[in-house]
Amino acid sequence: MDEIIIGNLVKGGKPTKEKVGINIRNLVLHGLVSGSTGTGKSKALQVMAEQLSEDGVPVLLADLKGDMSGFINPNLSPDSALRMKGMGVPYKPSSFKANFFSVGTKFVPIRMRLDQVDATLVAKILSLNQIQESNLKTAFMYAKSEGNELYDMAALRDTLVYLSKNPSAAPGFSKASADVILRQINVFLGSGLDELFGEPSIELPDLLKSGAINVVDL
């Protein structure tokens, strides 16, 4: 497949039989699908994902609105068949292999181990300043040196509590900064976002199965 077809050219407000496509090699570049509500942005992305799936290319979609779910059942709507006929497009409703992930338990939980994430990113998640970020990195390095695995935020909290009581275990560690970080962790845990970190950790091959459409519910 050299290109994927996203629709027919419209002239004078009416669809023509001239196809509009995108060279598949260009899909590694940045792109933008824009338009007002109801103009077919989500449908255009769905059409692209389905054609890639048919060609064995794995797809990862971040679903912000919860409307990218029309893959698993064929569209048998008479209106759709009539519209395709009017556009001169062959229409054969089909279903596609799709996996649905979410932060939490709504779908397949998508999680990662906290120690697989750079401490700088964790500091941004917790809204820490530079001094607090430095102490967070010290805590990460201490845990690694001791062979303590930081699966999740609760494990990080335990490490910070220990270092607060034993600051000499990690030279340069500040108890004052630890108190701030611990407060931010408690806010994080209370928000429910702690389900993002933990085990089992998702692996890249889980998202690269041939032809699968992977949807992450956001």
Half-sphere exposure of 134 (CA within 13 A, CB side): 10
Instruction: Please tell me whether residues 64 and 122 are part of one structural domain.
Output: no
For residue 201, give the DSSP letter.
Answer: P
CATH assignment of the domain containing 12: 3.40.50.300
> Which residue matches tokens 């220990």?
162
Omega before 200 cis (within 30°)?
yes
Instruction: Please tell me whether residues 104 and 143 are part of one structural domain.
Output: no
Contacts of 39 (CB under 8 A, 6+ apart): none
Range from 106-115, 123-132, 194-203 that averages highest in pLDDT: 123-132
Domain with 46, as residue range(s), is 3-109+204-217
Give the chain's domain count: 2
Q: What is the dihedral of CA 127, 130, 133, 138, to 10 degrees?
A: -170
Mean pLDDT over the full length of the chain = 88
Q: What is the pLDDT of residues 157-214, one digit of tens each?
A: 999 999 999 988 999 899 999 999 999 999 988 887 778 888 888 887 877 777 889 9
Q: How far is CA 192 from the centre of its chain?
A: 17
In this predicted structure, the answer to whether residue 110 has a pLDDT above a threshold of 80 is yes
